[in-house]
């Protein structure tokens, strides 16, 4: 685990009405960069830098910390305006900065033990663990690893390793939107698009929307308000996910960048505007009313003539294209799927999928 | 009656002119987030001619209708694209099975798009709440809308200076006369044959009526969508030409 120095400026942790904080913090970052170029902004008002190299150069850790403190106090005009912490790993260093402490190497777990579990930044754990009588990181660390993994999942297990001082980094400790914004303020990035993250929003509109959506979730439940994110995949349902607003994965910073990768078998745009959460069973028949099948070689047994959805009346097919094989392993017998685009004589277009001899309507192009 | 002629002539002269709207669109995107003070929300270029302001008016109610499968959903979503691209938040209520990939292809910014796919009985309340905090709200009306709910939502849009877009099977589903009604009167898919090709684009015929069109019905034909997945004006080349 890398030993880190973290600086936290309590007055600059959030943006006030006049919006001066980012610029003031940028000056702090510049002052710190005079000591070492490897300064990382983790969130507004908080930055970190490696401890070992600069400490050697500036006469030891204590001396380095003191010099940093003076430099930042000069920028902000206030000695109390900065907390400096030194510890192993990002998570401990950030907490050490809050309490203005130097945590000796190897004493991370002991330092973390008294902190409440809420500092992990996981709302679900912060609610659930205290109900189980686990209030502090020390108590959390004492739980058996496999129980944490089994009951709370992989993310909680990562938190658990951090609480035990075995690992120092955790998803969500950094706010990349802030780093980008400071770089833009600094003129490194052109200020072209009104790019905005949304947690704690950057533009007024983002803040207003966030408040409204949270209100709606209180009323309708967290799962009722969702956002869409793109992901890799072939079928329309696999290429996007709906995630509850506010969930970690819905944070644009954690979203995978969609998708330069080619997906053989993926249909070209335009994509269907209606993608059924539950595909509806369909029948596809040829001119002689015999069921149309997809053959082992990926061809249709006959031209589709009419289709029926959910056992409803048959509608005439005007045009069709496909089948597009859509399996990861087309030669495998486990999941052999093919898709068919169909335009009905009524003008509507549907996307059908065939699997194990059964057709279903997957999406519609309304 | 104004018919936007689908013309295929004058290819060379048009090639030069075609670059200019792109530049305008680029300039529009580079502008800062549209402020709440501005009365108008931008529309994507292909749909701007439908509206007398060439923009979506804040506080207005727009009704979008069409036969099932004709493209009303695509049209309603496209009305949100201009606002979304210039930094506005949009909300979708009652689109039970949203095609997120298509929304992205149409040009909606997914990072500023909130969906309430299954509000159940609380659809009007969900829409009213969203009108408080986002610039454009698209509601799929669950059948015929009662007078109270309709009035409430139109009034809320007016008061909060948001735009309300209502997607319904028939114009009569909305209890009050909307500011504008856009109907997909007919549409044709191109690019697909019997066993070959694939869906490349849909030519949609639109009819616009309502108070804001000065009582005159206008007719337009647009690609909804074109081959790239977004809407396009009809004269921007044949949608089937580029894959």
**pLDDT tens column, A184-193:** 777 654 444 3
Contact B183, B172 (CB under 8 A): no
Phi (first) and psi of residue A358, to 5 degrees: -110, 135
pLDDT over 70, % of chain A: 87
Contact B220, B185 (CB under 8 A): no
**B128 with B24: CB under 8 angstroms?**
no
Q: How far apart are CA B167 and CA B66, in angstroms?
A: 9
- The pLDDT of A327-343, averaged and rounded, is 65
**Residue A235 vs residues A200, A278, B71: alpha-carbon distances, Å:** 34, 14, 21
Do the Cβ atoms of B199 and A365 come closer than 8 Å?
Answer: yes
pLDDT at A180: 76
Q: Is residue A227 within a helix (H) or strand (E), and if so which, with residue range? A: strand A226-230
Distance (Å, rounded) from C-alpha A156 to C-alpha A171? 11
Give the three-class secondary structure for A308.
strand
Task: Decide if pLDDT at A125 tops 70.
Answer: yes
Determine what percent of chain A is predicted with pLDDT higher than 90: 47
Antiparallel, parallel or unpaired: β A306-309 and B180-192 = unpaired
Record the tokens describing residue B62, joined without a space: 């727009």
Nearest to residue A234, comparing CAs of A207, A202, A209, A259? Answer: A259
What gap in Å lies between CA A124 and CA A122, rounded to an integer?
Answer: 6
In angstroms, the CA A170 to CA A121 distance is: 10
Between the CA of residue B67 and those of A4, A10, B17, B187, B204, what are the distances in Å? 63, 59, 35, 10, 12
Other beta carbons less than 10 A from residue A296's beta carbon: 9
Cβ B180 vs Cβ B190: under 8 Å: no
Give the per-residue pLDDT at A118. Answer: 93
Helices A154-163 and A145-152, interaxial angle, to 10°?
A: 150
Q: Which residues of B touch A343 (CB under 8 A)?
A: 189, 192, 199
Tell me the pairing of strands A306-309 and A46-50: unpaired
Chain A residues close to B87, C-beta within 8 Å? 194, 196, 203, 205
Which residues on adjacent β-strands are paired with residue B42? B55
CB contact under 8 A, B227 and A269: yes
Terminal C-alpha separation, chain B: 34
Q: Is A344 exposed, middle or buried (0-12, 13-18, 19+ CB in 10 A)?
A: middle
- Are residues A282 and A361 in contact, defined by beta-carbon separation less than 8 angstroms? yes
Q: Comparing A1 with A47, which gets the higher pLDDT?
A: A47
**B114 → closest Cβ in A245, A269, A277:** A245
Mean pLDDT to the nearest integer, A22-26: 89
Q: What is the mean pLDDT of residues A314-341?
A: 74
- In DSSP terms, A337 is beta-bridged to A355
**How many C-beta atoms surround the C-beta of residue A302 within 10 A?**
15
**What residues does each domain of chain A span?**
3-163, 225-266, 274-364
CB contact under 8 A, B112 and A209: yes
Q: Which residues contact A237 (CB under 8 A, 6 or more apart)?
A: A275, A276, A277, A362, A363
ipTM: 0.81
pLDDT at residue A331 tops 50: no
Query: Chain A residues with CB inside 8 Å of B135's CB?
Result: 205
Tell me if B116 and A220 make a contact (CB, 8 A cut-off): yes
**For residues A224-230, average pLDDT:** 91
Contact B135 A205 (CB under 8 A): yes
**CA–CA gap between residue A56 and residue A355 (Å, rounded):** 65
Q: pLDDT higher for A318 or B34?
A: A318
pLDDT at residue A295 in the model = 81
Q: Rounded to whole angstroms, how far apart are CA atoms A237 and A362? A: 8
A111-125, A333-347, B41-55, B166-180: segment of lowest average pLDDT: A333-347
Contact state of B229 with A230 under an 8 Å Cβ cutoff = no
- Per residue in A128-174, pLDDT (tens digit) is 999 999 999 999 999 999 999 899 988 999 999 999 999 888 888 88
Res A130: pLDDT: 93
> At CB < 8 A and 24+ separation, what contacts does A246-250 make?
A246/A199, A246/A213, A246/A214, A246/A217, A246/A222, A247/A222, A248/A155, A248/A171, A248/A172, A250/A226
Q: Do A189 and A183 form a contact (C-beta atoms < 8 A)?
A: yes
Note the pTM of the prediction, 2 decimals.
0.62
Asked if B44 and B107 touch (Cβ cutoff 8 Å), the reply is yes
> In chain A, which residues have their Cβ closer than 8 Å to the Cβ of B102?
236, 270-273, 275
Average pLDDT, chain B: 84
Show the low-confidence residues of chain B (pLDDT under 70). Answer: 1-37, 212-215, 236-243
CATH number of A3-163: 3.30.70.270
Out of A225, A242, A321, name the one closest to residue B198 (CB). A321
């Amino acid at each position: 685990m890398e030993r880190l120095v973290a600086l936290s400026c309590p007055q600059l942790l959030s943006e006030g009405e006049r919006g001066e904080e980012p610029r003031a913090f940028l000056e702090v970052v510049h002052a710190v960069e005079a000591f070492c170029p490897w300064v990382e902004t983790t969130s507004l008002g908080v930055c970190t830098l490696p401890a070992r190299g600069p400490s050697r150069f500036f006469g030891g850790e204590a001396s380095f910390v003191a010099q940093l403190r003076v430099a930042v106090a000069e920028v902000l005009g206030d000695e109390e305006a900065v907390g400096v912490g030194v510890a192993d790993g990002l998570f401990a260093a950030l907490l050490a900065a809050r309490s203005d402490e130097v945590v000796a190497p190897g004493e991370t777990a002991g330092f973390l033990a008294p902190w409440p579990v809420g500092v992990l930044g996981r709302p679900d754990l912060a609610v659930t663990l205290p109900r189980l009588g686990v209030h502090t990181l020390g108590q959390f660390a004492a739980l058996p690893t496999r129980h944490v993994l089994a009951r709370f999942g992989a993310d909680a297990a990562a938190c658990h390793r951090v609480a035990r001082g075995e690992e120092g980094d955790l998803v969500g400790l950094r706010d990349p939107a802030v780093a980008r914004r400071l770089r833009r303020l600094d003129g490194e990035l052109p200020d072209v698009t009104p790019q905005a993250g949304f947690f704690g929003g950057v533009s007024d509109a983002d803040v207003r929307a966030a408040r409204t959506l949270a209100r709606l979730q209180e009323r309708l439940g967290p799962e009722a308000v969702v956002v869409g994110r793109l992901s890799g995949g072939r079928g329309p349902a696999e290429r996007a996910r709906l995630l509850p607003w506010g969930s970690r994965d819905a944070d644009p910073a954690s979203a995978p960048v969609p998708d330069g990768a080619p997906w053989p078998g993926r249909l070209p745009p335009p994509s269907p505007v209606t993608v059924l959460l539950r595909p509806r069973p369909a029948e596809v028949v040829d001119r002689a009313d015999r069921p149309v099948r997809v053959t082992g070689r990926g061809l249709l047994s006959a031209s589709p003539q009419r289709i029926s959805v959910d056992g409803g009346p048959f509608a005439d097919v005007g045009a069709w294209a496909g089948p597009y094989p859509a399996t990861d392993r087309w030669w495998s017998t486990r999941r052999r799927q093919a898709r068919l685009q169909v335009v009905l004589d009524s003008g509507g277009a549907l996307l059908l999928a065939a699997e194990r001899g059964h057709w279903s309507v997957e999406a519609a192009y309304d | 009656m104004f018919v936007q002629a689908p013309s295929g002539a004058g290819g060379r002269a048009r090639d030069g002119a075609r670059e200019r709207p792109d530049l305008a669109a680029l300039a529009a995107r580079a502008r800062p987030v549209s402020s709440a003070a501005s009365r108008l929300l931008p529309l994507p270029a292909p749909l701007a001619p439908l509206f007398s302001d060439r923009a979506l008016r804040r506080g207005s109610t727009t009704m979008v209708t069409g036969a099932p499968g004709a493209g009303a959903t695509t049209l309603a979503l496209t009305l949100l694209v201009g606002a979304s691209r210039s930094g506005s938040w949009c909300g979708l209520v009652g689109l039970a099975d949203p095609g997120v990939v298509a929304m992205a292809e149409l040009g909606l910014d997914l990072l500023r798009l909130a969906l309430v796919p299954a509000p159940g009985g609380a659809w009007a309340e969900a829409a009213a709440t969203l009108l408080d905090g986002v610039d454009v709200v698209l509601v799929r009306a669950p059948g015929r809308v009662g007078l109270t709910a309709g009035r409430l939502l139109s009034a809320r849009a007016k008061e909060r200076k948001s735009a309300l877009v209502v997607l319904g099977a028939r114009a009569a589903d909305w209890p009050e006369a909307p500011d504008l009604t856009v109907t997909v009167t007919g549409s044709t898919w191109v690019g697909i044959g019997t066993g070959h090709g694939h869906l490349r684009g849909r030519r949609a015929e639109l009819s616009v009526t309502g108070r804001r069109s000065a009582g005159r019905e206008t007719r337009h034909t647009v690609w909804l969508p074109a081959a790239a997945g977004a809407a396009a004006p009809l004269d921007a080349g044949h949608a089937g030409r580029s894959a």
